[in-house]
């Protein structure tokens, strides 16, 4: 009777685990389908961008040809009549106005590009966090299913041994002339054999599930690594875009160019610092959705790298010092921002959140460490 109850409990646990596995597999297939759709969309966008570049190049060529014709006509007019210098000056002024408009348009496009790169960097950070979390879950399920498969294998072996034992007892009873008892033992042996086959089948199913979870782990780990490589490329593109934009706005003044470049680099460093600290804090799986939203909001209020670091250390202390359900209060973060003049004290528990892929690299990019 106890054995039947235990079997029923095992079946209930297996049904719950099967439901969890089904949800995991559905999420895995949905992510793969979403990634394929995203790649197709990116290919279409790339194709449209290429067509737009060709149109822009054609317009630029036509404009250059038109300008060349205008200059040629102006030169011929100068050779014919020197008094047309006034008209030529008007053309030069018009050309300067066109150049200024082109420069303003280039600046606007550069700003749009920078904003787009920042949004893509933020999206990559979220993708890395989700991929790491799902890879961890897949690895955990894989290990669990392997252990369950081994346990089922052992149970199947045990049932086989008991079946052999019952078979031997049946033979002994038959030799002693106890036919009824021999038949009973034979029936019990067959039942044990059937149970052993069932356990063996369950073990095979667990192995298949473990293999599927291993594939999911490899898939999400690959997505994380690809996102890291894209992030490095985007960081380079953003720095180059900021440098080009700063160089085009210097107006020939070296001092102004240096000031602008410093401001742009400080802006990039602040963005990278916020991204780094947000990633570290969001790796804490005990945070609720509300706490995560508050963490992002408080870090976004920082005006420089120092304030961002102070906010991060304060949030670490608040999350680690209290209970797991403690929320991040607004007064805690705002108090830290207002006390940026006080000496920086390293968080005693910051090392607990320093685990993560590429943490040192992010810190160097953000200018936190040299």
**Which band of pLDDT confidence, cut at 50, 70 and 90, is reported for residue 139?**
confident
**What per-residue confidence (pLDDT) applies to 209?**
84
Q: How many CA atoms does the CB half-sphere of 138 hold within 13 Å?
A: 22
Residue 356 has pLDDT above 60, yes or no: no
The tokens of 1 are what? 């009777």
Mean pLDDT value of segment 211-235 = 86
Give the residue, 257 or 297, on which the prediction is more confident. Answer: 297
Quote the CA–CA distance of 31 and 216 in Å, as a whole number.
10
Q: Where are the domains of the chain?
A: 114-248, 255-370
What single DSSP character describes residue 327? P
**What per-residue confidence (pLDDT) applies to 350?**
37
- Candidates 206, 168, 167, 222; CA nearest to 31 is 222
Sign of CA dihedral 107, 109, 112, 117: negative
Residue 158 has pLDDT above 70, yes or no: yes
The tokens of 356 are what? 């993560």
- Candidates 357, 353, 361; CA nearest to 315 is 353
**Which band of pLDDT confidence, cut at 50, 70 and 90, is reported for residue 310?**
very high
Residue 74 has pLDDT above 50, yes or no: yes
- Candidates 312, 315, 309; CA nearest to 367 is 309
**What per-residue confidence (pLDDT) applies to 341?**
38
* Cβ 344 vs Cβ 306: under 8 Å: yes
- List, as one string, the DSSP characters of 115-177: HHHHHHHHHHHHHHHHHHHHHHHHHHHHHHHHHHHHHHHHHHHHHHHHHHHHHHHHHHHHHTT
**What per-residue confidence (pLDDT) applies to 366?**
53
Mean pLDDT value of segment 86-112 = 73
Residues 6 or more apart whose CB falls under 8 angstroms from that of 350 comprise 312, 313, 316
319-340: pLDDT as tens digits: 876 544 444 444 444 444 444 4
Residue 347 has pLDDT above 50, yes or no: no
185-221: pLDDT as tens digits: 778 888 888 888 888 888 888 888 888 888 888 888 8
Quote the CA–CA distance of 194 and 369 in Å, as a whole number.
65
Mean pLDDT value of segment 66-89 = 67
Quote the CA–CA distance of 345 and 239 in Å, as a whole number.
31
Provide the mean pLDDT of the chain. 75
């Amino acid at each position: 009777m106890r054995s039947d109850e235990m079997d029923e409990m095992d079946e209930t646990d297996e049904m719950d685990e099967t439901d969890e596995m089904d949800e995991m597999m559905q999420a895995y297939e949905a992510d793969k389908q979403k990634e394929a759709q995203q790649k197709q969309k990116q290919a279409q966008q790339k194709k449209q961008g290429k067509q737009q570049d060709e149109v822009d190049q054609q317009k630029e060529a036509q404009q250059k040809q038109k300008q060349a014709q205008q200059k040629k006509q102006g030169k011929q007019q100068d050779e014919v009549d020197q008094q047309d210098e006034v008209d030529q000056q008007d053309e030069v002024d018009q050309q300067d106005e066109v150049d200024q408009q082109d420069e303003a348009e280039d600046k606007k496009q550069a700003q749009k590009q920078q904003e787009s790169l920042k949004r893509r960097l933020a999206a990559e950070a979220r993708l890395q966090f989700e991929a790491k979390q799902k890879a961890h879950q897949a690895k955990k399920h894989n290990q669990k299913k392997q252990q369950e498969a081994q346990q089922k294998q052992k149970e199947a072996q045990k049932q086989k041994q008991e079946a052999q034992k019952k078979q031997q007892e049946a033979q002994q009873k038959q030799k002693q002339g106890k036919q009824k008892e021999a038949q009973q033992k034979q029936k019990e042996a067959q039942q044990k054999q059937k149970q052993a086959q069932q356990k063996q089948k369950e073990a095979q199913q667990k192995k298949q599930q473990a293999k599927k979870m291993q594939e999911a782990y490899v898939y999400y780990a690959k997505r994380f690594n690809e996102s890291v490589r894209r992030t490095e490329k985007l960081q380079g593109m953003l720095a180059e875009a900021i440098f080009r934009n700063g160089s085009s706005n210097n107006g020939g003044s070296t001092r102004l160019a240096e000031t602008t470049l410093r401001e742009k680099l400080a802006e990039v460093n602040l963005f990278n610092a916020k991204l780094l600290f947000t990633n570290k804090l969001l790796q804490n799986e005990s945070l609720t959705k509300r706490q995560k939203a508050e963490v992002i909001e408080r870090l976004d209020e920082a005006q420089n790298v120092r304030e961002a670091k102070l906010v991060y250390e304060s949030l670490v202390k608040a999350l680690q010092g209290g209970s797991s359900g403690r929320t991040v209060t607004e007064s805690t973060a705002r108090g830290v921002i207002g006390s940026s003049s006080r000496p920086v004290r390293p968080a005693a528990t910051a090392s607990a959140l320093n685990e993560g892929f590429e943490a040192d690299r992010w810190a160097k990019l953000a200018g936190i460490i040299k």
